[in-house]
Chain A
Amino acid sequence: MSQCCAGPASITRVHCPDGATCIGAPEGDAEPRPGLPAVVTGRRRHLQHSVKNMLAAFISRVLRRVAQKSARRVLVASRKSSNDATFEIKKCDLYLLEEGPPVTTVLTRAEGLKYYRMMLTVRRMELKADQLYKQKFIRGFCHLCDGQEACCVGLEAGINPSDHVITSYRAHGVCYTRGLSVRSILAELTGRRGGCAKGKGGSMHMYTKNFYGGNGIVGAQESCFLLPLPWVSM
């Protein structure tokens, strides 16, 4: 290939394959067109040559992209058929019930991504809370659940927003999955008025609709909630 044609309308001193040193001489044209001076024909030849090359490059680029796209589409197409994951759940022993809980469940791609996003958000929030605690912006107790995000997200995946939830002191993740914003949780941890309990509760005492908080006393949440359940669910 020739080294000429750096670009359209660029006049360069090149060495064309036909041996002639021409100024902007396009490739390919061995003979000058009759009637035109040699320099002019050389320039025109070079221009045609560069245009052709450009066109070739452009077409090859387009084709490559198209090929890639279709390659991707092909890949996606091959995954689409197994986009949902099916899980088997161990069958429960039943007592005085005809039907138990389902034995298989399906996780769609969209749901998986949603839960992953929730877990990542909880992780980032907890790591930040850890940092703030070490910098003494958060005082008193700070029980973190980085590493245990799957517990709160998995719980939320299995229940409805209208179900009631209570938990113990390791509550930040559950607060987030129950609907509190990261901003209101961190504001509460740092004792600000914008916190979910107006700064009066702290780490273990955050509440929202259908979420009855963390509890500072170990074991208090069981009696608080499990026992009145028959009356509450009526």
Chain B
Amino acid sequence: MAAVSGLVRRPLREVSGLLKRRFHWTAPAALQVTVRDAINQGMDEELERDEKVFLLGEEVAQYDGAYKVSRGLWKKYGDKRIIDTPISEMGFAGIAVGAAMAGLRPICEFMTFNFSMQAIDQVINSAAKTYYMSGGLQPVPIVFRGPNGASAGVAAQHSQCFAAWYGHCPGLKVVSPWNSEDAKGLIKSAIRDNNPVVVLENELMYGVPFEFPPEAQSKDFLIPIGKAKIERQGKKTKIYRHPSILVKFNLEVTVINMRTIRPMDMETIEASVMKTNHLVTVEGGWPQFGVGAEICARIMEGPAFNFLDAPAVRVTGADVPMPYAKILEDNSIPQVKDIIFAIKKTLNI
């Protein structure tokens, strides 16, 4: 009897199971995108959106980019939009600035920012100062982009960080993306901006994949220039400019990714310092007149100074031209141990 009732009951249960069954719903796997692909996507979308946008630089077209950042763009847009230039930075930067003044929206790629020194007159005198000098009549909507800072074993003339140099000049906007989301959002904002923008990328980060949030996959994903991002909340402030290293702490540290060097987002930094009472800045460039120096000076001039419990500490690259030998090079850029040492020094532990 029991068996019969069991038999009867079972199909009912199964039927109810059928009735209750719905679509199996899992969250989509996080999309991993490298910084290189993110910049490529950003440029691709802007090239598609506005036909006045074009890219010029050494090896950007047929070679797909010296670091493959502009892969596939020449095939898609052709010779008129993606232009290979000779090895003449002063020449093609000047051409790009002229094109911007005439109404186009060029993206001028430097193979590395070290070579931008050949063209720095065009960047500063022709691009940065023009809007001011013309009394607001002549905007220069140009983007200068390329890898900046130390690479691996490329010695003194190929490893300089230009954040401080370009950050010094009024008239320029300077951004420094870290992960793929930053890279895509900032390059898109830079291209849409009517001012000359210098985008300081990092060669070592090009191949690093990051999680790409769904909002970043939209064609109108922009990151406002001039806003920093708090990557991590904690009890102590640390400002990263180029966080290509992951730091694990027992302490609770607030990590701020500056994203923009000029105009600097002092509100976020001051708010964080007022909460945590300590400050450590980290950058890859040389210490004297660097980004960290500027942040410390501005903290001193602002309301956050009264909240500091200890002097702010800067962690920077060594004050030497980048040496070639591996061991010397490793010790010339900020390492994890240097940051830990600086934090312990500030906290007096």
Contacts and interface: CB of A to CB of B under 8 A. Distances in A.
Contact of B325 (A199, A204, A217, A219): A199
A141 interface: yes
Contact of B157 (A188, A191, A205, A219): A205
B233 interface: no
Report the interface size class on chain A: 20 to 34
A75 interface: no
Interface in A67-82: none
Contact of A201 (B118, B152, B156, B327): B156
Contacts of B118: 217, 219
A22 B70 CA distance: 98
B328 A217 contact: no
Greatest chain B CB density within 10 A among A188, A192, A199 is at A199
Q: Which of A139, A193, A203 has the most chain B CB within a 10 Å cutoff?
A: A139
B87 A202 contact: no
B276 interface: no
Interface size class of B (residues with CB under 8 A): 20 to 34
A199 B153 contact: no
B324 A205 contact: yes
B324 A191 contact: yes
Nearest to B87: A218
Interface in A185-210: 188, 191-193, 197, 199-205
Nearest to B154: A140
Contacts of B155: 140-141, 200-205, 216
Contacts, number: 63
B87 A219 contact: yes
B328 A141 contact: no
Contacts of B221: none
Interface in B125-166: 151-158
Contacts of A193: 325
Among B117, B154, B156, B324, the one with the most A-chain Cβ atoms within 10 Å of its Cβ is B324
Interface string A12-41: 000000000000000000000000000000
A188 to B, nearest CB: 8
B277 interface: no
B34 interface: no
Most buried by A among B87, B153, B321: B153
B115 interface: yes
Contact of B152 (A140, A191, A215, A219): A140
A137 B151 CA distance: 17
Contacts of B202: none
A191 to B, nearest CB: 3
Contacts of A139: 152-153, 324, 326
Given A140-B324, A199-B328, A217-B114, A205 B152 contact: no
Does more than half of chain B's interface fall in helix, strand or loop, or is it mixed? loop
A216 B324 contact: no
Interface in A153-193: 188, 191-193
Contacts of A192: 325
A216 B157 contact: yes
B323 interface: yes
B34 to A, nearest CB: 22
Nearest to A219: B87
A202 B115 contact: no
B326 A217 contact: no
Given A216-B158, A217-B115, A219-B87, A200 B325 contact: yes
Q: Most chain-B Cβ atoms within 10 A of its Cβ — which of A199, A202, A218, A219?
A: A202
Given A140-B152, A200-B328, A217 B323 contact: no
Contacts of B114: 216-217
Contact of A191 (B117, B154, B321, B326): B326
Nearest to B158: A216
Contacts of A197: 324
A155 B117 CA distance: 31
A141 B154 contact: yes
Interface string B84-123: 0001000000000000000000000000001101100000
A199 B330 CA distance: 13
Contacts of A188: 324
B157 A199 contact: no
A103 to B, nearest CB: 37
Interface of A: 139-141, 188, 191-193, 197, 199-205, 215-219
27 contacts: A139-B324, A139-B326, A140-B151, A140-B154, A140-B158, A140-B324, A191-B324, A191-B328, A197-B324, A199-B325, A200-B156, A200-B324, A200-B325, A201-B155, A201-B156, A202-B155, A204-B157, A205-B156, A205-B157, A215-B157, A216-B114, A216-B156, A216-B158, A217-B115, A217-B118, A219-B87, A219-B118
Given A205-B157, A216-B155, A219-B87, 11 more contacts: A139-B152, A140-B152, A140-B155, A191-B325, A191-B328, A200-B323, A203-B155, A204-B155, A204-B157, A217-B115, A217-B117
The 7 A-B pairs at the shortest CB distance, nearest first, are namely A139-B153, A202-B324, A140-B153, A191-B325, A216-B157, A199-B325, A202-B155
